[in-house]
Amino acid sequence: MPSPPEAPQVSPMLLARQRTLLRTYHRECARATDCEAPLGCLGSARARKHFCTDSQCTQDVHCPEGLTCQPLPTVGGGPHVRYCVPQGVRKEGEPCIGLPPDQDSACAPGLACSAGWCGRPCLLDAPSSCPAGFFCADAPPGPMCRPTCEGRTCPKGQHCIQDGQGASVCAVVHGQNCQQSPCAEGRECLTTFSAKPQVEVWMACFPECGKSSPACPEGLVCDRAQCRKPCQPDTPHVCEPGYRCLRHSDAQPWLCRPDIQED
């Protein structure tokens, strides 16, 4: 009989004076090692950046009315951090944001955001604990139901697209469906889901880059192991249709990224 999965480490809720002793507290980060223990590198949708933080609550009573204390995963398998997040309106199987900026991108009461999808807790040894069209995924902060469209027929104009973490949904595809038509050698299929209830996905084949890969072709820059097109926000029509010149923090370059207007 397999052993149960190890419970994820959770960052404690530090005292104010303990936080002042940590030089990386609330500093921007890109990886787990950018943060001193016991901090985790947490992404914020509202601020469009990652920052080092401890837990801000341990239970719901520490949160203002309308918010609930939820454990959130951090970059690179770092410790989970407990944060007060809104109780939202997103239904089961709809996309969500782990640290949502508002109710519109948060899961409804009774559901939790697991790897970008709203779902209910489930039992790994009881598949029926998830409704039809879902499967029980073994992932922090605990087994959760995630959507699947495998073996199902999607509505006209949509395709069954995998998210790379086991889940799959029927979505409108922008760009090349590189899960259906694989990329050429040396290029990786990059899939970006929108955070809207009506699921859309941007797909493209990008050259790989990094230590074990060749340098990017002329005119492209390496960003997180992908060669992307650089741009300047004041230059019109520099990006292809469906893309916009964006950067998520001052430390990142301006690049053509999917034009996802989040609700």
The pLDDT tens digits along the chain (263 residues) read 344 445 568 999 999 999 999 999 999 998 899 999 999 999 887 767 899 999 999 999 999 988 889 888 898 889 999 999 988 999 999 999 888 888 888 999 888 888 889 999 999 999 899 999 999 998 766 899 999 999 889 999 999 999 988 999 999 998 889 999 999 988 889 888 887 777 889 898 888 887 778 889 899 998 877 888 999 999 888 888 778 898 877 778 899 988 875 44
* Cβ atoms of residues 199 and 149 within 8 Å: no
> Do residues 238 and 185 share a domain?
yes
> Do residues 23 and 44 share a domain?
yes
> Do residues 138 and 186 share a domain?
no
> Do residues 142 and 163 share a domain?
no
> Do residues 110 and 68 share a domain?
no
Confirm whether 189 is domain-assigned: yes
E-strand ranges in the chain read 40-44, 49-53, 67-72, 81-86, 112-114, 117-119, 134-137, 144-147, 159-162, 168-175, 187-193, 200-207, 221-223, 226-228, 243-246, 255-258
Query: So what's the pLDDT on residue 56?
Result: 94
Q: Which residues pair with 80 in a beta bridge?
A: 10
Return the half-sphere exposure (C-beta side, CA atoms, 13 A cut-off) of residue 257.
18
> Do residues 117 and 174 share a domain?
no
Report the alpha-carbon distance of residue 87 to residue 104 in Å, rounded. Answer: 9
> Do residues 8 and 82 share a domain?
yes
Confirm whether 212 is domain-assigned: yes
> Do residues 64 and 111 share a domain?
no
> Do residues 68 and 125 share a domain?
no
Write out the two tokens for 118: 């709203």
* Cβ atoms of residues 157 and 199 within 8 Å: no
> Do residues 38 and 60 share a domain?
yes
Confirm whether 152 is domain-assigned: no
CB within 8 Å of 244: residues ≥ 6 apart: 256, 257, 258, 259
Query: So what's the pLDDT on residue 164?
Result: 86
- State the CB neighbour count (10 A cutoff) for residue 212: 7
Write out the two tokens for 181: 């038509």
Report the alpha-carbon distance of residue 26 to residue 53 in Å, rounded. Answer: 6
Q: Which domain holds residue 9?
A: 1-86
Query: So what's the pLDDT on residue 3?
Result: 45
> Do residues 192 and 127 share a domain?
no
Report the alpha-carbon distance of residue 17 to residue 137 in Å, rounded. Answer: 39
Query: So what's the pLDDT on residue 66?
Result: 84
Confirm whether 21 is domain-assigned: yes
Backbone dihedral angles phi then psi of residue 140, each to the nearest 5 degrees: -60, 150
The pTM score is 0.75
Question: Could you say which of 35, 62, 86 is where a domain stops?
Answer: 86
Confirm whether 51 is domain-assigned: yes
Confirm whether 153 is domain-assigned: no
Q: Which residues pair with 243 in a beta bridge?
A: 258
Query: So what's the pLDDT on residue 262?
Result: 47
Query: So what's the pLDDT on residue 44?
Result: 83
Confirm whether 53 is domain-assigned: yes
> Do residues 254 and 166 share a domain?
yes
The count of domains in the chain is 3
Confirm whether 233 is domain-assigned: yes
